[in-house]
Amino acid sequence: MAAEDQKWSFVVTANRLPVRRVWEGDTAKWVPSPGGLVSALRPVMSGNPDAVWAGWTGVPGPGTEPFEVDGFQCHPVGVSQGELQLFYEGFSNATLWPLFHDALVPPEYHRTWWDAYRTVNQRYAAAVANLAAPGATVWIHDYHLLLVPGLLREARPDLRIGFFLHIPFPARELYIRLPWRAEIINGLLGADLIGLQTPLGADNFCRAVARITGAKTTGKLIQHNGRATQVGAFPIGIDTDRIASLAADPAVQARATEIRQSLGSPATVLLGVDRLDYTKGIEVRLRAFRELLAEGRLSVDDCVLVQIAEPSRSQVTGYAEVRQAVEQLVGDVNGNFGVMGSPVVHYLHQSHPIEELVAMYLIADVMLVTPLRDGMNLVAKEYVACRPDNSGVLVLSEFTGAAQELRTAELINPHDVEGLKSAMEAAAHRPQAEAEPAMRTMRRLVRSNTAQRWAERFLARLEGCE
């Protein structure tokens, strides 16, 4: 049977395939992508002859022939350059992303963006409908593909369909601003099971459904158009074995020692690792750090802040402004408190391999995770997984999904600068013996709720849907 005619009993679809293209000289090759979703689904998909992943390759243009990388069967879905601007940069990341993150910046509503979003979702749904065997299980991921469950249900009512939203679902009062609110809800209700990161996200979704459709909701079971859709909270984890293995790797540990020495071997290293995004609260922590230095509550003689801001969605409206604001703050802190050859803030606007990030986690006495809103935030969990001696303090925003699990972290409200300053100061001065019990509790949770366990729980629940 030709690959394009093959039918699969388990189909995953997300905006991107689980691979990325890298260049070695003049030769391009595909390698597995980093990230929680790929790690979570690897045990289910890698080497499974009945599993396929449909998504975009990351390269604009028509879909290419199916291919296999590291055990993942990949079926490319084409997205043109124009559609990327309207569907991805536009509706996905300038309409849905800000709206679902509490409208921290005003969402934009453009009919041309919506038209492109609907067109691309139809293309994904058609691809999955063609790939799925009779009675197959389909798992759809994230905010780029909110219409796919409903479109797929129309085309293939025989399928078992799951959907997982990796970002927050907003309060009903925010969601109903969306001009296409009913279309999105109806699209999602094509699924048998809808998973969200937190119970609050599940509650918000059910309230929005009741407001918009009038559908009967019993607990987290929604009855609509003669069908039942279950809704549940499934907090995603990380590949703890991989992170712990890297943290124990002598080469990574040697790199950590090298990094700390390059920073001047300070007594305390504070670390932030984020995508450069207005939701991440980078500016908030930099202002708090500046004020702590100005007030003498932290000293440049024994304290440095390392901020990694990985490039992200640079073409989307607003991101250039975020970068400018962050870099101005870094310059202000270093200009006022640094000395020649010894900046107090070490700022890196670049991507790093996971080995380098783990080395950074190892040297961080204080991890700053201060988003204004975040679906989960796996950086917090990665840091915890890298502390085998139970040292270190995690300063964590209450407005992350991770805060619902890592309750012994130093929880803060990122909108309260004074509260954040107090937490940072206390964390920087906390003796290791006092920090150990909180870290030990968080490590136990992170080790038990892994990415693989998350996938197993969701799929087991989906299998039980009537």
What pLDDT digit, counting tens, does each position of 250-288 carry? Answer: 999 999 999 999 999 999 999 999 999 999 999 999 999
Once rounded to an integer, what is the mean pLDDT over residues 24-28?
78
75 is catalytic: no
- Active-site annotation holder among 192, 239, 365, 374: 374
- Active-site annotation holder among 50, 70, 102, 166: 166
Task: Give pLDDT, residue 247.
Answer: 97
Task: Give pLDDT, residue 25.
Answer: 76
Coil/strand/helix, residue 254: helix
- Tens of pLDDT along 84-108? 999 999 999 999 999 999 999 999 9
Distance CA 374, CA 401 (A): 6
DSSP code at position 90: I
Task: Give pLDDT, residue 2.
Answer: 41
DSSP code at position 4: G
Burial class (CB in 10 A: 0-12, 13-18, 19+), 62: exposed
Provide the pLDDT confidence category of residue 15 given band limits of 50, 70 and 90: very high
Coil/strand/helix, residue 239: coil
List the structure tokens of 60. Answer: 């604009």
Amino acid at 29: K
Q: What angle do CA 378, 195, 457 make, to 5 degrees?
A: 80
The verdict on pTM exceeding 0.85 is yes
In percent, the amount of the chain with pLDDT more than 70 equals 98
Please give the CATH number for the structural domain made up of 3-236+452-463: 3.40.50.2000
Task: Give pLDDT, residue 178.
Answer: 98
Name the pairing type of β-strands 67-69 and 72-76.
antiparallel
- What is the DSSP track for 37-86? HHHHHHHHHTT-TTEEEEEE-SS-BS----EEETTEEEEE--B-HHHIII
Q: Are 136 and 9 a contacting pair, CB within 8 Å? A: yes
Task: Give pLDDT, residue 462.
Answer: 97
Cα dihedral sign, 119-121-126-130: positive
- Tens of pLDDT along 118-133? 999 999 999 999 999 9
Domains 3-236+452-463 and 240-449 share a fold: yes
- Tens of pLDDT along 444-453? 999 999 999 9
Burial class (CB in 10 A: 0-12, 13-18, 19+), 145: buried
From the centroid of its chain, how far is CA 78? 23
Burial class (CB in 10 A: 0-12, 13-18, 19+), 466: exposed
Q: Was domain 240-449 assigned CATH 3.30.70.20?
A: no
- E strands present in 300-443: 303-310, 345-348, 366-369, 393-397, 410-412
50 is catalytic: no
- Tens of pLDDT along 54-67? 999 988 988 889 99
Task: Give pLDDT, residue 29.
Answer: 83
Once rounded to an integer, what is the mean pLDDT over residues 61-80?
91
Whether 22 has a pLDDT exceeding 90, the answer reads no
Provide the pLDDT confidence category of residue 1 given band limits of 50, 70 and 90: very low
Coil/strand/helix, residue 364: coil
Name the pairing type of β-strands 268-275 and 216-218.
unpaired
Least confident residue range of 45-49, 68-72, 376-380: 45-49
Higher per-residue pLDDT: 313 or 383: 383
Where do the domains of the chain lie? 3-236+452-463, 240-449
Whether 3 has a pLDDT exceeding 70, the answer reads no
**Whole-number mean pLDDT of the chain?**
94
Q: How far is CA 338 from CA 181, 305, 332, in A?
A: 50, 11, 10
